[in-house]
């Protein structure tokens, strides 16, 4: 059965939603921790704890939203209404997150941060889960999914460039850091709302073919999804990779501010990292169509790992040019991280459908987002604990011990998580050839279902 080829406007229209969500993710990853410690004055360990609790709450809501979006019925479909009604609240809560309430009491400040971050993450979940689930329902084709993921990656990289390259210049336009963070929150909040809304107008849900089988409770569906070996290995890979990369992203501002004495250097470093990633995304997409996606992903992680270990040992000795060169290598690896896992998830869902006879893409993407947020939560928590243990003091001259803590959180500690990810990808069993056979089985199942209905 020949599947309909998506139009370019549909691919770009859907992929544009990734800009808003990645802008949120990257800006929060880069700027939230230092906003909490150096702007609000919250101790690093408490800042990490607040982020951990808020993200765990966020992770709990992911499967719930996944299930609710599965059951949503409207003239726009089951995923698109969430984008229509969730985009503006998402942008507003992002703006609120970067407001300085002026609380001097540490306990009150802690609970303010916790409440604001929980609210923001809830708004994010309400658009992120339906948006990612929508990919599965646009096309069942292996290569088209990879192509769409490539377009998504371009928007993700552009958003990352904006988050990394424009945040500091926007903040520098204001007289105080308080006003600067507020201005950045307003600009990024507006962009987030607009771009999250765009896919609603450009795409429709096509391949929504529920079977007649009873799907069961949320717990049963999550358990069934976790029995899916390819998905389980990919899920572990994604979680540990998220921990490693989120820790690095949150730590980069500290690294350049205190190791090199100039936090503005982070803008150039990130432009190099993301620029390299953007250039290599088309190459990754082509490679992923020719060879198995897990090997493309694994090589990307290895490149990233080599780069951060080199920075840990030699960055402070060889200087900023060397660090920029390593960021370029890391960017090549990052391009695989931005493309391949998102193209692999729908393939694992197909595998699960053949095994169970039930389509539950919302459940899979709910779990996917769950581990992203758990990973990000523990990344910031670990960073806060490391900084605190090594004696970090905000806006002060750091000791040799605290500087070591910053460097460890940039290299060896996240490196352990990358090593685990590589092992999981080596064991990943779902090849392109196997997926082709799975698609044939699905077509036979659908023909059988159609004949039974007739």
Instruction: State pLDDT tens for residues 245-302.
Output: 999 988 999 999 999 999 889 889 988 998 898 889 889 988 988 889 999 999 999 9
Percentage above 70 pLDDT, the chain? 94
CA–CA dist 25, 160 (Å, integer): 9
Are 381 and 247 contacting, i.e. CB atoms less than 8 angstroms apart? Answer: no
CA atoms of 423 and 135, how far apart (whole Å): 27
- pLDDT band for position 231 (cuts 50, 70, 90): very high
pTM for this model (two decimals): 0.78
The residues, ordered by sequence, that sit 6+ positions from 145 with a Cβ below 8 Å of its Cβ are: 135, 139, 343, 346, 347
Mean pLDDT of all residues in 208-213:
50
Confidence at residue 1, expressed as pLDDT on a 0 to 100 scale: 46
What is the residue-averaged pLDDT of the chain? 88
Q: What is the pLDDT of residue 3?
A: 56
Q: What was the pLDDT predicted at 212?
A: 46
Average pLDDT over residues 189-199: 95
> What is the token pair recorded at 33?
């921790």
- Segment 219-237 mean pLDDT: 89
Per residue in 314-344, pLDDT (tens digit) is 999 999 999 999 999 999 999 998 889 988 9
Between residues 92 and 163, the one the model is more confident about: 92
C-alpha closest to that of 259 among 406, 159, 132: 406
- With a cut of 80, say whether residue 454 has pLDDT above it: no
pLDDT surpassing 80 at residue 362: no
- Taking the C-alpha atoms of residue 370 and residue 63, their distance in angstroms, rounded to an integer, is 7
Residue 4 confidence (pLDDT): 64
Q: Which tops the pLDDT comparison, 163 or 366?
A: 163
In this predicted structure, what is the pLDDT of residue 211? Answer: 46
pLDDT of residue 452: 58
Identify the pLDDT of residue 427: 95
Q: Who's near 366: CB < 8 A, 6+ residues apart?
A: 62, 63, 64, 65, 66, 67, 129, 222
Residue 142 pLDDT more than 70?
A: no
pLDDT per residue over 368-422, tens digit each? 877 887 888 899 899 999 999 999 998 899 999 999 999 999 999 999 999 999 9
CA dihedral for 244, 250, 255, 258, sign (positive or negative): negative
| pLDDT of res. 361 | 75
Among the ranges 13-17, 54-58, 206-210, which has the highest mean pLDDT value?
13-17
Domains of the chain are 9-203+216-453 (1.20.1250.20)
**What confidence score (pLDDT) does residue 217 get?**
67
């Amino acid at each position: 059965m020949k599947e309909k080829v998506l139009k370019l406007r549909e691919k770009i229209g859907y992929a544009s939603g990734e800009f808003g969500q990645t802008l949120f993710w990257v800006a929060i990853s880069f700027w939230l921790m230092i906003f909490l410690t150096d702007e609000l004055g919250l101790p690093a360990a408490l800042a990490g704890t607040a982020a951990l609790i808020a993200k765990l709450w966020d992770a709990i809501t992911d499967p719930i939203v996944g299930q609710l979006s599965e059951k949503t019925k409207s003239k726009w479909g089951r995923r698109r209404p969430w984008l229509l009604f969730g985009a503006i609240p998402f942008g507003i809560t992002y703006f609120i997150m970067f407001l300085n309430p002026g609380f001097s009491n540490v306990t009150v400040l802690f609970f303010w941060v916790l409440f604001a971050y929980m609210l923001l993450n809830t708004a994010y979940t309400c658009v992120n889960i339906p948006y990612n689930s929508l990919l599965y329902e646009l096309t069942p084709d292996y290569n088209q999914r990879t192509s769409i993921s490539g377009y998504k990656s371009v928007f993700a990289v552009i958003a990352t460039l904006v988050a990394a390259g424009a945040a500091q210049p926007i903040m520098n336009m204001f007289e105080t850091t308080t006003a600067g963070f507020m201005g950045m929150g307003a600009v990024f909040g507006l962009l987030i709302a607009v771009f999250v809304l765009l896919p609603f107008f450009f795409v429709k849900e096509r391949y929504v073919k529920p079977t007649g089988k009873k799907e069961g409770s949320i717990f049963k569906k999550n358990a069934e999804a976790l029995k899916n070996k390819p998905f389980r290995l990919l899920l572990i890979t994604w979680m540990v990779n998220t921990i490693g990369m989120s820790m690095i992203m949150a730590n980069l501002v500290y690294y350049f501010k205190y190791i090199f004495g100039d936090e503005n250097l982070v803008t150039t470093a990130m432009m190099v990292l993301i620029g390299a990633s953007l250039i290599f995304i088309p190459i990754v997409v082509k490679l992923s169509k020719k060879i198995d996606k897990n090997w493309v992903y694994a090589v990307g992680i290895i490149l990233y790992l080599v780069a951060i270990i080199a920075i840990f040992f030699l960055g402070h000795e060889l200087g900023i040019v060397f660090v920029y060169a390593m960021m370029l290598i890391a960017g090549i690896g990052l391009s695989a991280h931005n493309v391949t896992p998102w193209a692999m998830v729908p393939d694992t869902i197909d595998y699960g459908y053949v095994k169970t006879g039930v389509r539950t893409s919302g459940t899979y993407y709910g779990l996917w987002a769950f581990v992203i947020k758990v990973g990000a939560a523990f990344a910031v928590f670990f960073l806060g604990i490391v900084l605190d243990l090594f004696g970090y003091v905000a806006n002060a001259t750091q000791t040799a011990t605290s500087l070591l803590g910053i460097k460890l959180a940039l290299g060896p500690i996240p490196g352990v998580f990358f090593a685990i990810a590589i092992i999981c990808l080596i064991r990943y069993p779902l090849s392109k050839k196997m997926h082709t056979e799975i698609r044939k089985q699905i077509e036979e199942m659908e023909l059988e279902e159609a004949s039974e209905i007739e």
